[in-house]
Chain A
Amino acid sequence: MAGLMSGFGHYTHAVVRGIPASLAKEALRSCQAEVDLAEARREHEEYVEVLGTRLGLEVVELPADESLPDCVFVEDAAVVCGDTALITRPGAESRRRETETMKSALKELNLNIVEMTDEKATLDGGDVLFTGREFFVGLSKRTNQRGAEILADAFKDYAVSTVPVLEGLHLKSFCSMGGPGLIVIGSSEPAQKALKIMQQMSDHRYDKLTVPDDLAANCIYMNLPNKGHVLLHPTAEQYPESAKVFEKLKDYMLIPVCNMQKVKVDGALTCCSVLINKKANI
């Protein structure tokens, strides 16, 4: 029986992209930091391996493009929900071309492609939080109202509410989904405020998991056959306090993933993949 909006966290495919050497120097970042390219690549390899080998997803790996230093952060280039993929128009001018490769990859996967052609619209996938029941779109430096409208048009089944992102790069710089109906949220004031807004705008009920570090609130949740609840979260090395929180989660397969280097260029865990559920397609 086909059911809509069911199976939150079910994924079969992941689209990732390699790290160009230009990332170290040219990738956008909100604060200056030295990136160890080799270490970053090692991290990314491990990340991809978790998705592919450990979790059994079919990983589509796109080649890095030196002219696109931020291209590893594929999440911003597309929003996929169900069988529809919205190709975004990234807020940073330098990243616009990242969508090209993404688009063809998603086409290959037989998704219905919706493109954001309006030149007034900008949207980074990192500003899009899909809870399984609705979308929250952060209005940030990278995403504007028009972008959110187009997203709402692309995914008509769901309510799309806007949330101002006052601090941090993206909405998901301080939150993510930690399970069905569970929002992982950072404890900073802006994060909590954003959460309040989300609460107010929503008809649904969520639980929240508050972690001390905002950046640690960016996790990847999946619900996979034979594995159940899976949560990829930052390591204890990186965020010791937050890690303690994750460790208390029961009935989860917890996978700490190192993200020390990518975070320097504002890359969080969700940023590095676009997850797709092909089987759920109707």
Chain B
Amino acid sequence: MTSESGADSEAKQPRENKETEKEKGKAKAAAAAEPASPQNQPEQFPAAAGHSTPARKEQEQQEVDQVSHRSSISRLSRSPLKGVKKTKIMECKVALLDGSDFTLNLEKRARGHVLFDKICEHLNLLEKDYFGITCRDVENQKNWIDPGKELKKQIRTGPWNFAFNVKFYPPDPAQLTEDITRYYLCLQLRDDVVSGRLPCSFATHTVLGSYAVQSELGDYDPEELGSDYISELRFAPNQTKELEEKVMELHKTYKGMTPAEAEIHFLENAKKLSMYGVDLHHAKDSEGVEIMLGVCSSGLLIYRDRLRINRFAWPKILKISYKRNNFYIKIRPGEFEQFESTIGFKLPNHRAAKRLWKVCVEHHTFFRLVSPESQPKKFLSLGSKFRYSGRTQAQSRRASSMINRLAPLVERSSSKRYNMSLSLDGAPIAENHETPMKDSAAAGAAKILTKGDLITTVTTEKKAEEEKAEQEDAPTDAAETQEPTTPLRHDTKTDSEQTDFAFDGEMTATESDADDDSEMRTQDTSPPEEMLKHQTNISELKRSFLETGESSPGLTEWEKRLSSSPAHSPRGDEAPMIEPLELQDTKDEPPASEETKEEVEPKTTKAAEYLVKYVGDSVATDLASSSGLHGISPSTTMDDDVFMDGTLREVDEVAEREEIKVSPGAVRQEVYQAISDKKGTLIILKEADDKVDAEGKETGAAGEEEEPALRGEAEGGENEAVMGVEIWSPKMEANGVTQIKGTDSPKKAMASWISEVVKTEATEVVGASTKASDAPQPGEEVQTEQSKSGPSQITPPESSTTSLAVSTLGWVPSSEKGPPEPEEKVVVATETEAAPAESTGPTGCDVVEVGTKEVPVVHTETKTITYESAEVETNGDVDPGVLLSAQTITSETTSTTTTTHITKTVKGGISETRIEKRIVITGDTDIDHDQALAQAIKEAKEQHPDMSVTKVVVHKETEITPEEGED
């Protein structure tokens, strides 16, 4: 865990000093321009550098002109002469994780990402999304450099000294694609341990220490290492002889273990530590009691001394804000509470409050969302515009799954930081002979394309989530399909007032806005009033469903559901009494949220998202209110969520999501769960996805789509019969999110997305991303779709666009394996948990193939566009063992894009095919989106009765401003 305080400063100081020597030795460090010779301590640097231009400010003193600091690797150096006068060059010194320094020159106006990219290049690091750059402020507090902002604005004073650190600690490091990434994570953790930020027991110190030694020094060899080698390394804050001896004992037993293996073992142990990846911030509670707030991948932890006294999982948090030195979280009402509550904490000062707020926003986005939120509109610029703009974990995983290079050599022996006496030279990382792919995403995408129709993308996590989702939600009785649409329309129009999304971070002074100071909404709380009615109805439906559900007396609704969900009861039918105990946020919430939603929703009139689920005859309806939801910005693209959620595969998280509704995926999950609950057995062996995008009111697209969809259904039917598996009646889930702000936006784009999913076999669904369609529209719309888990984003670069997406899912589970016996359930359960780790050789599944074969393969592209810049989304194969194929058929009409998407996944002998149809309607405000949507859904329905609407998204965008800082 990292601490905001300077706790680690001691650890870093020494290495910085040492660093210089190392720098010399590095050939690589050529980058470190001559001027930045070793003798130059960063602090001294300014003086030496001053010649280029008279210093205008303090900062400029440090400027160095290009001529003197030409760096071999610096791109800037290409035109040295020109640069001399116009471009200010600054020398940056970056403390790397191995204790060395990396010095380079950057244009003064360079933004954070330039530096970051150069460091990653230097480190040969592709999976860079977990990392970040820090610099210390006046108070010696560590602040993360915003990649989108100019460095000079983030360093008010002082030399350009930075540190390269892990920013987001992956909950499961084994899922990282490359060893080299794990190597750096290990280095960070070793520092965390030695500095005391990551407390551990003596036993853990010995274990971690022993793996660190093995990783760094290799096999124990008394002749080479001597007997005292161990004391040259640091393992613990207070290292004792006893500890060293124990470490040595263990080290001796690791003969033959490779460094990469040792690192995996190290991480497997480190990740279990309770403070792993927890970023601590000092604070006081409302009564002035000293506490610590810990931000981590799963939420916010509250500590008093070493005790955890509370925990707020992200799904539980509706809003995060700060004002002056206060930090607030708005909490979703609990099961028995009527209203949401806001909890305030006092931070030492305004900066600390803001820092905490930012860290929360970033963690939430990275770990919980499928894609980053777009930034608030300008006209709402009352508050902070800060958003996390990098890739989310989900995106990062997809991208890294595309990495296709030989494992780079990692030179590990040079981690001087922990090595007290050795002073080996050499860059920490050996150059890789392979051409490293600098832009993994782009490269990945390219590769995918070349593969043709087969895309082996596996996003295990997603699968897990889906499964969970399936297990969780109980379907409710029949609601009409139409309903979802109606509400949507309202949404579209009502959202106009969504000012609340704006983070008013900067408005600190205004008292009235306390809440909004700078807030991040993690969920939508307020639906437009018009929608309220609908929602109420829906919730009523849901409630009634719940009440009618067959369940054992005495259990609460969610308990019933839980108890009936197969996946959660490992013992199968015979041991029905074992119920999954879900994190409160996750399982508890469904009920709670239902209750609360109604109340909550009325309050706000911002963006509302609803979720209507239909299952077979029964309809489960969930109101998901998500207004600024996704936390952060109301105007974000909701599309992505649909499938992407899956990507966050942490089991716990999955559950949480449901409740949160933050991510569309959550919605889905609910549906699935609902399904499973109702039937009691959930076995999904295959999943057929059919995605069709049809644009415009026309259903012309539909025609094309029909085939896949039908097949999917047919298959489902067959399977059911054959398998004797319980079949769920297809569910209809409609999730409508509307975020429309009254805007001056000239244009709107509306996209409707209808996807059909037929599941035939239980499998792990893998996220395959395919880019389905580009809206033909005035180029304002870009869509990204991830098949299966594929999130789709519509991000109109300029001008506001509204997109309405409706996705439908129909599931017909059947298993080839056999009847949905308890055993199977067990299997399912296992998969859920293990899914992420599993990787199986791809196996062809007949059923799947059938479904897919018939569909012509057009091409698959993955593309992700964030508000900041266009990124290529790649759905990759995370696990080599899993085969995923994705096919996308796209047809376009004037302003309509129809995409049929078929994804196949095979895992552990289980395969799943999923067919999704996606219809995107894009257009100006003039278009009657509501009608178009209604029609599209109707037609789709007619064609495929089993189809379910998973999601309806109305998306409207105005100008997006990528990089503003909140400041």
Residues in chain A within 8 A of chain B (CB atoms) = 1-5, 82-84, 112, 133-134, 137, 145, 148-149, 152-153, 155-162, 182-183, 187, 195-196, 198-210, 245, 248-251, 281-282
In the complex, the 8 A-B pairs of residues with the closest C-beta atoms, listed nearest first = A159-B274, A152-B306, A200-B584, A208-B581, A206-B581, A199-B584, A161-B308, A156-B199
**Does B879 sit within 8 A of A, measured CB to CB?**
no
CB pairs A–B below 8 angstroms (30 shown): A1-B253, A1-B265, A2-B210, A83-B203, A148-B307, A149-B306, A155-B201, A156-B200, A156-B204, A159-B274, A160-B308, A161-B308, A161-B311, A162-B309, A183-B581, A187-B554, A200-B310, A200-B585, A202-B583, A205-B583, A205-B655, A206-B580, A207-B568, A208-B580, A209-B579, A210-B579, A248-B575, A248-B577, A249-B571, A250-B572
Q: Is the CB of B581 within 8 A of A282?
A: no
Given contacts A199-B584, A203-B311, 11 further A-B contacts (CB under 8 A): A3-B269, A82-B201, A152-B307, A156-B199, A157-B203, A182-B578, A200-B313, A204-B583, A248-B575, A282-B203, A282-B206
Tell me, in angstroms, the Cα distance from A205 to B653 when the chains sit together: 10
Q: Is the CB of A282 within 8 A of B207?
A: yes
User: Range of interface residues on chain B?
Assistant: 35 or more
B contact residues around A206 at 8 Å (CB): 580-581
**Does B905 sit within 8 A of A, measured CB to CB?**
no
The listed residue (A2, A162, A198, A208) touching B307 by CB distance below 8 A is A162
Q: Is the CB of B306 within 8 A of A153?
A: yes
Contacts A149-B306, A156-B201, A250-B575: A282 and B585 contacting too (C-beta < 8 A)? no
B contact residues around A137 at 8 Å (CB): 307
Closest chain A CB from B609 CB (angstroms): 24
Residues in chain B within 8 A of chain A (CB atoms) = 199-204, 206-207, 210, 246, 250, 253-254, 265, 268-269, 272-274, 298, 304-311, 313, 316, 335, 554, 568-572, 574-585, 587-588, 651-652, 655
Q: Is the CB of A205 within 8 A of B268?
A: no
Q: Is the CB of B579 within 8 A of A208?
A: yes
Contacts A2-B250, A4-B203, A157-B200: A201 and B308 contacting too (C-beta < 8 A)? yes
Tell me, in angstroms, the Cα distance from A134 to B206 when the chains sit together: 20
Tell me, in angstroms, the Cα distance from A3 to B576 when the chains sit together: 32
Tell me, in angstroms, the Cα distance from A3 to B655 when the chains sit together: 28
Nearest residue (CB) in A for B574 is A250
Closest chain B CB from A2 CB (angstroms): 5
Q: Is the CB of A82 within 8 A of B203?
A: yes
Q: Is the CB of B272 within 8 A of A157?
A: yes
Closest chain B CB from A9 CB (angstroms): 16
The listed residue (A2, A162, A183, A204) touching B207 by CB distance below 8 A is A2
Tell me, in angstroms, the Cα distance from A251 to B655 when the chains sit together: 28
B contact residues around A198 at 8 Å (CB): 581
The listed residue (B250, B307, B577, B583) touching A145 by CB distance below 8 A is B307
Q: Is the CB of A245 within 8 A of B203?
A: no
Tell me, in angstroms, the Cα distance from A182 to B580 when the chains sit together: 8
Q: Is the CB of A203 within 8 A of B569?
A: no
Query: Which of A5, A204, A208 has the most B CB atoms < 10 Å from its CB?
Result: A208
Contacts A112-B202, A134-B274, A152-B306: A207 and B580 contacting too (C-beta < 8 A)? yes
Tell me, in angstroms, the Cα distance from A149 to B652 when the chains sit together: 27
A contact residues around B651 at 8 Å (CB): 205
Nearest residue (CB) in B for A136 is B308
Tell me, in angstroms, the Cα distance from A51 to B269 when the chains sit together: 31
Tell me, in angstroms, the Cα distance from A49 to B87 when the chains sit together: 84
Closest chain A CB from B317 CB (angstroms): 12
A contact residues around B306 at 8 Å (CB): 149, 152-153, 156, 160
Tell me, in angstroms, the Cα distance from A147 to B394 when the chains sit together: 41
Q: Is the CB of B583 within 8 A of A209?
A: no
Q: Is the CB of A209 within 8 A of B204?
A: no
Closest chain A CB from B603 CB (angstroms): 24
A contact residues around B571 at 8 Å (CB): 248-251
Tell me, in angstroms, the Cα distance from A207 to B562 when the chains sit together: 10
Contacts A133-B272, A149-B305, A282-B203: A207 and B311 contacting too (C-beta < 8 A)? no
Nearest residue (CB) in B for A145 is B307
Tell me, in angstroms, the Cα distance from A82 to B269 when the chains sit together: 14
B contact residues around A3 at 8 Å (CB): 207, 268-269
Nearest residue (CB) in B for A84 is B201
